[in-house]
Chains A and B, each alone.
Chain A
Protein backbone atom coordinates (compact mmCIF):
# COMPACT_ATOMS: atom_id res chain seq x y z
CA UNK A 1 0.00 0.00 0.00
CA UNK A 2 1.63 3.22 -1.20
CA UNK A 3 -0.76 5.43 0.70
CA UNK A 4 -2.29 6.94 -2.45
CA UNK A 5 -5.79 6.15 -3.62
CA UNK A 6 -6.91 7.11 -7.12
CA UNK A 7 -10.45 7.09 -8.48
CA UNK A 8 -11.80 5.92 -10.76
CA UNK A 9 -9.51 3.05 -11.77
CA UNK A 10 -10.83 3.10 -15.32
CA UNK A 11 -12.72 5.72 -17.29
CA UNK A 12 -14.09 5.39 -20.79
CA UNK A 13 -15.43 8.55 -22.32
CA UNK A 14 -16.42 9.90 -25.69
CA UNK A 15 -14.35 12.52 -27.41
CA UNK A 16 -15.40 15.99 -26.40
CA UNK A 17 -16.60 15.05 -22.92
CA UNK A 18 -15.06 16.35 -19.70
CA UNK A 19 -13.55 13.99 -17.15
CA UNK A 20 -12.28 14.45 -13.61
CA UNK A 21 -9.94 12.21 -11.67
CA UNK A 22 -9.29 12.26 -7.96
CA UNK A 23 -6.21 11.48 -5.90
CA UNK A 24 -6.39 10.92 -2.14
CA UNK A 25 -3.20 10.57 -0.16
CA UNK A 26 -3.96 8.51 2.94
CA UNK A 27 -1.82 10.66 5.17
CA UNK A 28 -0.47 14.16 4.94
CA UNK A 29 2.19 14.72 2.31
CA UNK A 30 3.01 18.24 1.32
CA UNK A 31 4.08 17.32 -2.21
CA UNK A 32 1.67 15.83 -4.73
CA UNK A 33 2.39 15.17 -8.40
CA UNK A 34 0.42 14.20 -11.50
CA UNK A 35 2.00 12.20 -14.30
CA UNK A 36 0.69 10.72 -17.52
CA UNK A 37 1.93 7.49 -19.05
CA UNK A 38 1.24 6.04 -22.48
CA UNK A 39 2.20 2.59 -23.71
CA UNK A 40 5.93 2.13 -24.17
CA UNK A 41 6.81 5.42 -22.51
CA UNK A 42 7.91 6.40 -19.05
CA UNK A 43 5.65 8.57 -16.91
CA UNK A 44 5.59 12.20 -18.14
CA UNK A 45 5.40 14.98 -15.59
CA UNK A 46 2.25 17.11 -15.73
CA UNK A 47 2.12 19.21 -12.58
CA UNK A 48 3.18 19.43 -8.94
CA UNK A 49 1.69 20.86 -5.74
CA UNK A 50 3.40 21.91 -2.56
CA UNK A 51 0.48 21.88 -0.13
CA UNK A 52 -2.29 23.76 -1.99
CA UNK A 53 0.05 25.76 -4.23
CA UNK A 54 0.58 24.55 -7.79
CA UNK A 55 4.30 25.19 -8.17
CA UNK A 56 5.14 23.69 -11.51
CA UNK A 57 3.28 22.85 -14.72
CA UNK A 58 4.58 21.01 -17.73
CA UNK A 59 4.10 22.28 -21.26
CA UNK A 60 2.17 19.04 -21.72
CA UNK A 61 -0.55 20.53 -19.56
CA UNK A 62 -2.60 22.31 -22.20
CA UNK A 63 -5.38 24.74 -21.32
CA UNK A 64 -7.82 21.83 -21.45
CA UNK A 65 -6.17 20.41 -18.34
CA UNK A 66 -6.60 21.83 -14.88
CA UNK A 67 -5.50 20.50 -11.52
CA UNK A 68 -6.43 21.60 -8.04
CA UNK A 69 -5.54 20.76 -4.49
CA UNK A 70 -7.93 22.96 -2.54
CA UNK A 71 -7.01 22.10 1.02
CA UNK A 72 -3.59 20.67 0.52
CA UNK A 73 -4.86 17.12 0.89
CA UNK A 74 -6.70 15.46 -2.03
CA UNK A 75 -6.25 16.62 -5.60
CA UNK A 76 -8.32 16.58 -8.77
CA UNK A 77 -7.26 16.59 -12.40
CA UNK A 78 -9.85 17.67 -14.94
CA UNK A 79 -9.60 17.29 -18.69
CA UNK A 80 -12.05 19.30 -20.74
CA UNK A 81 -13.13 18.46 -24.29
CA UNK A 82 -11.22 15.18 -24.26
CA UNK A 83 -9.36 14.07 -27.37
CA UNK A 84 -8.27 10.58 -28.37
CA UNK A 85 -4.68 11.59 -27.69
CA UNK A 86 -5.60 12.03 -24.02
CA UNK A 87 -5.97 8.27 -23.66
CA UNK A 88 -3.35 7.25 -21.13
CA UNK A 89 -2.76 6.18 -17.56
CA UNK A 90 -2.92 9.17 -15.21
CA UNK A 91 -0.76 8.65 -12.15
CA UNK A 92 -0.79 10.57 -8.90
CA UNK A 93 2.28 10.47 -6.70
CA UNK A 94 3.22 11.78 -3.31
CA UNK A 95 6.59 12.95 -2.10
CA UNK A 96 7.75 11.22 1.01
CA UNK A 97 8.47 13.52 3.94
CA UNK A 98 12.22 13.09 3.93
CA UNK A 99 15.17 15.33 3.16
CA UNK A 100 14.27 17.26 0.01
CA UNK A 101 17.44 16.30 -1.79
CA UNK A 102 16.52 12.65 -1.86
CA UNK A 103 12.78 12.39 -2.12
CA UNK A 104 11.47 9.50 -4.16
CA UNK A 105 7.85 9.48 -5.23
CA UNK A 106 5.27 6.88 -4.37
CA UNK A 107 2.54 6.35 -6.92
CA UNK A 108 -1.08 5.43 -6.70
CA UNK A 109 -2.32 2.70 -9.01
CA UNK A 110 -3.53 5.22 -11.54
CA UNK A 111 -6.64 6.02 -13.55
CA UNK A 112 -6.70 4.54 -17.04
CA UNK A 113 -8.52 6.86 -19.44
CA UNK A 114 -9.81 5.68 -22.80
CA UNK A 115 -11.25 8.29 -25.13
CA UNK A 116 -13.36 6.80 -27.92
Chain B
Protein backbone atom coordinates (compact mmCIF):
# COMPACT_ATOMS: atom_id res chain seq x y z
CA UNK B 1 0.00 0.00 0.00
CA UNK B 2 1.35 3.43 -0.90
CA UNK B 3 2.06 5.84 1.95
CA UNK B 4 -0.44 8.41 0.68
CA UNK B 5 -3.07 7.63 -1.94
CA UNK B 6 -5.47 10.04 -3.55
CA UNK B 7 -8.46 9.82 -5.84
CA UNK B 8 -7.32 9.62 -9.43
CA UNK B 9 -8.24 12.72 -11.43
CA UNK B 10 -9.05 14.73 -13.23
CA UNK B 11 -12.22 16.18 -11.78
CA UNK B 12 -14.06 18.40 -14.26
CA UNK B 13 -16.84 20.43 -12.66
CA UNK B 14 -18.89 23.53 -13.54
CA UNK B 15 -18.62 26.74 -11.57
CA UNK B 16 -20.68 26.61 -8.40
CA UNK B 17 -20.37 22.86 -7.98
CA UNK B 18 -19.34 21.11 -4.80
CA UNK B 19 -16.45 18.70 -5.17
CA UNK B 20 -14.83 16.32 -2.69
CA UNK B 21 -11.36 14.81 -2.73
CA UNK B 22 -10.38 11.78 -0.72
CA UNK B 23 -7.04 10.58 0.55
CA UNK B 24 -5.88 7.55 2.53
CA UNK B 25 -2.61 7.10 4.38
CA UNK B 26 -0.86 3.94 5.45
CA UNK B 27 0.95 4.80 8.68
CA UNK B 28 -1.25 4.93 11.74
CA UNK B 29 1.50 6.80 13.61
CA UNK B 30 1.17 9.84 11.34
CA UNK B 31 0.27 12.97 13.28
CA UNK B 32 0.22 15.91 10.90
CA UNK B 33 -2.04 16.29 7.88
CA UNK B 34 -2.33 18.99 5.26
CA UNK B 35 -3.84 19.86 1.93
CA UNK B 36 -1.65 21.72 -0.54
CA UNK B 37 -2.59 23.34 -3.82
CA UNK B 38 -0.29 23.39 -6.82
CA UNK B 39 -0.81 25.44 -9.94
CA UNK B 40 0.73 24.33 -13.22
CA UNK B 41 4.54 24.65 -13.16
CA UNK B 42 4.47 26.36 -9.77
CA UNK B 43 5.53 25.24 -6.33
CA UNK B 44 3.01 23.62 -3.95
CA UNK B 45 1.38 26.04 -1.52
CA UNK B 46 -0.28 25.23 1.74
CA UNK B 47 -4.05 25.33 1.45
CA UNK B 48 -4.94 24.23 4.96
CA UNK B 49 -3.96 22.02 7.84
CA UNK B 50 -6.30 19.19 8.78
CA UNK B 51 -7.31 18.84 12.42
CA UNK B 52 -8.88 15.89 14.18
CA UNK B 53 -12.12 17.74 14.79
CA UNK B 54 -12.39 18.86 11.18
CA UNK B 55 -11.88 22.44 10.11
CA UNK B 56 -13.23 24.95 7.68
CA UNK B 57 -11.70 27.88 5.85
CA UNK B 58 -14.27 29.73 3.79
CA UNK B 59 -15.45 27.41 1.03
CA UNK B 60 -12.99 24.68 2.02
CA UNK B 61 -13.64 22.00 4.62
CA UNK B 62 -11.14 19.37 5.68
CA UNK B 63 -11.96 16.22 7.62
CA UNK B 64 -9.79 13.58 9.25
CA UNK B 65 -10.82 10.07 10.22
CA UNK B 66 -7.95 8.49 12.15
CA UNK B 67 -9.68 5.13 12.56
CA UNK B 68 -10.01 4.74 8.80
CA UNK B 69 -6.79 6.67 8.06
CA UNK B 70 -8.71 8.85 5.70
CA UNK B 71 -8.63 12.57 4.91
CA UNK B 72 -11.02 14.57 2.80
CA UNK B 73 -11.26 18.02 1.28
CA UNK B 74 -14.59 19.54 0.30
CA UNK B 75 -14.77 22.59 -1.93
CA UNK B 76 -18.13 24.34 -2.09
CA UNK B 77 -19.25 26.83 -4.75
CA UNK B 78 -16.29 26.10 -7.01
CA UNK B 79 -14.64 29.04 -8.74
CA UNK B 80 -12.64 29.07 -11.94
CA UNK B 81 -9.63 30.02 -9.83
CA UNK B 82 -9.91 26.75 -7.89
CA UNK B 83 -8.57 24.90 -10.95
CA UNK B 84 -5.33 23.34 -9.77
CA UNK B 85 -3.86 20.11 -8.45
CA UNK B 86 -4.66 19.31 -4.82
CA UNK B 87 -2.06 17.38 -2.88
CA UNK B 88 -2.77 15.38 0.25
CA UNK B 89 0.18 15.50 2.67
CA UNK B 90 0.92 13.39 5.74
CA UNK B 91 3.92 13.32 8.01
CA UNK B 92 5.91 10.13 7.83
CA UNK B 93 5.56 8.73 11.28
CA UNK B 94 6.32 11.12 14.10
CA UNK B 95 6.78 14.76 14.83
CA UNK B 96 9.51 16.52 12.90
CA UNK B 97 9.95 13.90 10.16
CA UNK B 98 9.44 14.25 6.46
CA UNK B 99 6.10 15.14 4.94
CA UNK B 100 4.92 12.65 2.33
CA UNK B 101 2.88 13.91 -0.60
CA UNK B 102 0.24 12.10 -2.58
CA UNK B 103 0.33 12.24 -6.37
CA UNK B 104 -2.35 14.87 -6.38
CA UNK B 105 -5.80 15.22 -7.88
CA UNK B 106 -6.38 17.67 -10.68
CA UNK B 107 -9.45 19.88 -10.56
CA UNK B 108 -10.71 21.76 -13.57
CA UNK B 109 -13.57 24.21 -13.02
CA UNK B 110 -15.30 25.46 -16.14
CA UNK B 111 -17.77 28.28 -16.77
Contact = CB atoms under 8 A, between A and B. Distances in A.
Interface of A: 2, 31, 33, 35, 40-45, 48, 50, 56, 58, 91, 100-110
Contacts of B92: 45
Contacts of A103: 32, 96
Contacts of B32: 101-104
Given A41-B103, A101-B32, A107 B43 contact: yes
A10 B88 CA distance: 27
Contacts of A100: 95-96
Nearest to A108: B43
A44 B89 CA distance: 11
A48 B42 CA distance: 21
A101 B49 CA distance: 11
B95 A42 contact: no
A104 B34 contact: yes
A107 B44 contact: yes
Interface string B32-54: 10100000001111100100000
A95 B67 CA distance: 28
Contacts of A91: 43-44
B100 interface: yes
Given A44-B101, A45-B98, A109-B43, 6 more contacts: A2-B45, A43-B87, A50-B96, A101-B95, A102-B49, A104-B46
